[in-house]
Amino acid sequence: MSAQTQYAPSREDFAALLEESFRSNEVAEGAVVKGKVVAIEKDVAVIDIGAKTEGRVALKEFNGPGRDEPIEVGAEVEVYVDRIENALGEAVISREKARREESWIKLEKAFEANERVQGLIFNQVKGGYTVDLDGAVAFLPRSQVDIRPVRDITPLMGVPQPFQILKMDRRRGNIVVSRRTVLEESRAEQRSELVANLEEGQVIEGVVKNITEYGAFVDLGGIDGLLHVTDMAWRRVNHPSEVVQIGQNVQVKIIKINHETHRISLGIKQLLADPWEGIEARYPVDARFTGRVTNITDYGAFVELEPGIEGLIHVSEMSWTKKNVHPGKIVSTSQEVDVVILEVDPVKRRISLGLKQTLQNPWEAFAEKHPVGSEVEGEVKNKTEFGLFIGLEGDVDGMVHLSDLDWNRPGEQVIDEFKKGDMVRAQVLDVDVDKERISLGIKQLAGDPFADAGEIRKGQVVTCEVVEVKDAGIDVKIVDTDLSAFIRRAELARDRADQRPERFSAGDKIDARVTQFDRKARRVTLSIKALEVAEEKEAIAQFGSTDSGASLGDILGAALKKQTQSGEEEENK
């Protein structure tokens, strides 16, 4: 047997070789396979993907945002197989889908590794932009374009740049990317490097980048520092624009650096001499100075004594007499005022000032002009449950207590006779300058009836005039004095049947006995009953005794007759 005959394949071997050949050229739908460009016709390329199968791919699929893939006959390319055979017997393939599948695999690996990817912004859509990530299309939200809002994105279109993948959903084909995250990370790296080269206390030059109500941001060469309004000058600065302007070159001192947040605090005033040094020697307590009102608050007014030095006039130190008035009613901003130094605290950097101290204390002035015992006149400013307030000279008030309204009547009753606006005269009883109080008396102008009562004493018989008849007794006034008294019902007569107030009428003259007279307690007590009892005892003593057999009527009749005869004899003489 020849060698050729010896190695000839059998029918079974040929079948196995044919099956292996078919297997090696098998093309599956949904797979990415390599193919060869066999022809280029107008705007399509004919590609052989093996297994005696060809497909057509539009030439535009080889081009895209930021890429221009050369294509020529014989070139090998990867394509995506949609279908093995269409109605024309050709495979439906796509170069774009192949690139997309390849890109998705790379992007998923980058997403898992938290790595940045390259892409190009190529179109604007609702809410953001589309980005080509080497075949895969991603969405870039408008808020993720830059650290600050970007008005014109044209310079960024079609420019290769890094992005960070925020979200991927292969099933839905969604990819969300961010350019802002990349910029923030890069900026943080730069800031860390810049901050590492800065030191607290260092003096550096910068450019004013932005101005706010509370300060200015200064660019220190890639990193911003805050120049707070309180660190711009030793004096009060109402708005940062008073000191710096945008674009201005300024020399600043680094006050504080926060290496964790990369925040830098700057100051200008720290480069100047501290005006508070030696402050106590320049502004001694009780010394008088002139300053300018810089700010007014509910609790007082700030006065600038010199650039960088301000003191506070507390509302309580603004006026001697105006206690509940807003400081703005007393002084105005930019007004020049004279003040007195009350206290200096160099540690807390505070100076307490007084405005009222530049004027004479009105209570001292009043006391000098109106000593105790003098008479004054004023208007009733207010009525309270404990007395009257009278407006006096020098814008001060004096008070008349209820007990100083009238000698005889209760103050609660007398005060009703006064009303606001009435002009009244009163006597100065006391002036307390420290407590800012003036005590006045109205009843003192009429004299003290007890002081003018003469030698009235207990047991004395006095003649009274009935002033008013009441159910409980009668009000009377002792004749030839200003003393008033009340005779109770039980003291109106010895006999109970005669103890009736209605027996008397206003204007009646009656005699009564003084049963109590206390000048200190200002109390006088009268009794008709006591007088009758005393007269009875006296009559009995003169005309008989209780056991002589004479009746009381006989004794009193005889005594009365004798008294009448004595009176007639006196008249005849």
Mark whether 258 and 292 lie in a shared domain: no
Q: Is residue 118 part of a domain?
A: yes
| pLDDT score of 466 | 92
Structural domains counted in the chain? 6
| pLDDT score of 565 | 55
Q: Is residue 77 part of a domain?
A: yes
Q: Is residue 542 part of a domain?
A: yes
Mark whether 234 and 256 lie in a shared domain: yes
Mark whether 466 and 546 lie in a shared domain: yes
Q: Is the pLDDT reported for residue 47 higher than 80?
A: no
HEC profile of 354-410: ECHHHCCCHHHHHHHHCCCCCEEEEEEEEEECCEEEEEECCCEEEEEEHHHCCCCCC
Label residue 1 by pLDDT band (50, 70, 90): very low
Q: How far apart are CA 435 and CA 480, in angstroms?
A: 42
**Tokens for 503?**
């027996």
Task: Point out the domain boundary residue: 99, 128, 162.
Answer: 99
Long-range contacts from 303-309, C-beta under 8 angstroms, 24+ separation: 303/337, 303/339, 303/353, 304/235, 304/236, 305/351, 306/275, 307/233, 307/234, 307/235, 307/275, 308/233, 308/234, 308/235, 308/269, 308/275, 308/276, 309/234, 309/235, 309/275, 309/276, 309/279, 309/283, 309/351
Task: Give me the sign of the Cα torsion angle 398, 402, 406, 407.
Answer: negative
Mark whether 16 and 92 lie in a shared domain: yes
Per the rule left: phi > 0, alpha: psi between -120 and 50, beta: everything else, 155 is alpha
Label residue 5 by pLDDT band (50, 70, 90): very low
Q: How far apart are CA 164 and CA 176, in angstroms?
A: 9
Query: Phi, psi at residue 162, to the nearest 5°?
Result: -80, 150
Mark whether 368 and 435 lie in a shared domain: yes
Write down the mean pLDDT value for the chain: 83
HEC profile of 149-173: CCCCCHHHECCCEEEEEEEEECCCC
Mark whether 176 and 213 lie in a shared domain: no
Mark whether 419 and 433 lie in a shared domain: yes
Pick 93 or 236 by higher pLDDT. Answer: 236
Q: Which range, of 51-55, 109-113, 162-166, 317-321, averages the lowest pLDDT?
A: 51-55
Mark whether 31 and 75 lie in a shared domain: yes
Q: Is the pLDDT reported for residue 409 higher than 50?
A: yes
Q: How far apart are CA 476 and CA 473, in angstroms?
A: 10
Q: Is residue 309 part of a domain?
A: yes
| pLDDT score of 563 | 56
Mark whether 84 and 35 lie in a shared domain: yes
Task: Point out the domain boundary residue: 184, 217, 239.
Answer: 184
Q: Which residues are paired to 427 by β-bridges?
A: 375, 441
Q: How far apart are CA 527 and CA 521, in angstroms?
A: 19
Q: Which residues of 39-51 are buried (b: 16+ CB within 10 A; e: fewer)?
A: eeeeeebbbebeb
Pick 42 or 471 by higher pLDDT. Answer: 471
Q: Give the Cβ contact number of residue 571 at 10 Å.
A: 7
| pLDDT score of 257 | 87
Mark whether 435 and 376 lie in a shared domain: yes
**Tokens for 188?**
């943080």
Instruction: Evaluate if pTM is beyond 0.95.
Output: no
pLDDT tens-digit readout, 433-442: 989 899 999 9
Q: Is residue 276 part of a domain?
A: no
Q: Is residue 191 part of a domain?
A: no
Q: Is the pLDDT reported for residue 2 higher than 50?
A: no
Q: Classify strands 44-50 and 92-94 as parallel, antiparallel or unpaired.
A: unpaired
Label residue 212 by pLDDT band (50, 70, 90): very high
Task: Give me the sign of the Cα torsion angle 209, 210, 216, 222.
Answer: negative
Q: Which of 185, 188, 191, 192 is nearest to 163 (CA)?
A: 185
CATH number of the domain within which 230 lies: 2.40.50.140
Q: Which of 228, 271, 237, 280 is nearest to 251 (CA)?
A: 271
Q: How far apart are CA 487 and CA 476, in angstroms?
A: 7
The angle, 0 to 180 degrees and rounded to 10, between the axes of the packed helices 552-572 and 528-543 is: 90
Mark whether 486 and 548 lie in a shared domain: yes
Parent domain of 417: 362-446
Task: Point out the domain boundary residue: 244, 271, 298.
Answer: 271
pLDDT tens-digit readout, 294-351: 999 999 999 999 988 999 999 999 998 888 889 999 999 999 999 999 999 999 999 9
Label residue 378 by pLDDT band (50, 70, 90): very high
Q: Is residue 417 part of a domain?
A: yes
Across the beta sheet with 523-527, the strand order is 484-488, 473-478, 461-470, 509-518, 523-527
Q: Give the Cβ contact number of residue 335 at 10 Å.
A: 13
Label residue 3 by pLDDT band (50, 70, 90): very low
Q: Is 196 helix (H, G, I), strand (E, B) or coil?
A: helix
Q: Is residue 104 part of a domain?
A: no
Label residue 454 by pLDDT band (50, 70, 90): low
Q: Give the Cβ contact number of residue 554 at 10 Å.
A: 13
Q: How far apart are CA 1 and CA 216, in angstroms?
A: 105
Q: How far apart are CA 440 and CA 553, in angstroms?
A: 57
Mark whether 471 and 539 lie in a shared domain: yes
Q: How far apart are CA 131 and CA 331, in angstroms?
A: 65
